[in-house]
Every structure is written in structure tokens, then in C-alpha cells.
Amino acid sequence: MSLAWHRGLWLWGTLLASVLTLVFLPFTVLTRGMVLFVILLICVFGMIRSHRRPDAAVAERLLTGLPPVTYRQPVILVCGDALEEMFGGGLVQQTAQGCWLKVGASLTLRDFTCGNLIRW
């Protein structure tokens, strides 16, 4: 999803939560103000977080060399020490036992999985 769609979804969620707070929930004026402030903080945090997604060029570099979607062998994500000895200069190592993917030190395993492999 594009950055504009992510920001639009955060704004839409903020609008819906604000309407719910102001119209349907029986809060006092002070409580409504505090809840709206918290909703706006969450919206700003979400928009900042969606802006810090991995760049498309970085994702394409990581996804080059992956086997086709119909690949039915295990796919192993590897991170840690001695990656250069195992992978050399590449990011993907295919053997008869499966496909080994190098996850660099600058990426966490969760970010790599959520941000890149979903599109694969």
C-alpha cells in the first residue's frame, strides 16, 4: 500500500474514533477532551510509523533472487555471525534442502518478514 493510503487510513480511523467519542459515548467535556487528545497522539504516531517503512528500492534488492511463488521447499531466514562465509556477496543461497535468505544486521527478523516476504 502506498504512503498516501496509509496516511488516509490513519486519518479515517481518527475521524471514526473522534465521532464515536464525541457523539455516542457519554463522557464529560474534560474526559472527551482527554480522549480526543489521546486519539490524535495515536494518529500522529501511526502516521510517523507508516512513513518509516522500508524503501521500495531496498525491498526490491532484498527480493531479487527469490524462488518462484510455487516453490515448495523450506525457506530459512538466517541472521547472525559468519553470514559472509555462508552467502558471499549474495542474499540468497539455494540448496537441495531449501532456500536460505540472508537477513542483514541492519534489519530485524520481524521487519524483514513483515515488510518483504508478504509481497513474495
Beta strands, E only, the chain: 75-78, 92-94, 99-102
Most confident of 58-62, 92-96, 102-106: 92-96
**Has this prediction a pTM greater than 0.95?**
no
CA dist 32 and 82 (Å) reads 55
List C-alpha distances in Å: 104 to 6, 57, 81, 98.
26, 16, 10, 19
As a whole number, the mean pLDDT across the chain is 80
Per-residue model confidence as pLDDT tens digits over 6-36: 889 999 999 999 999 999 999 999 999 999 9
The predicted structure's pLDDT at residue 3: 79
List the domain boundaries for the chain: 3-51, 56-117
Would you state the pLDDT for residue 53?
A: 64
d(Cα 13, Cα 1) in Å, to the nearest integer?
16
SS3 assignment, position 35: helix
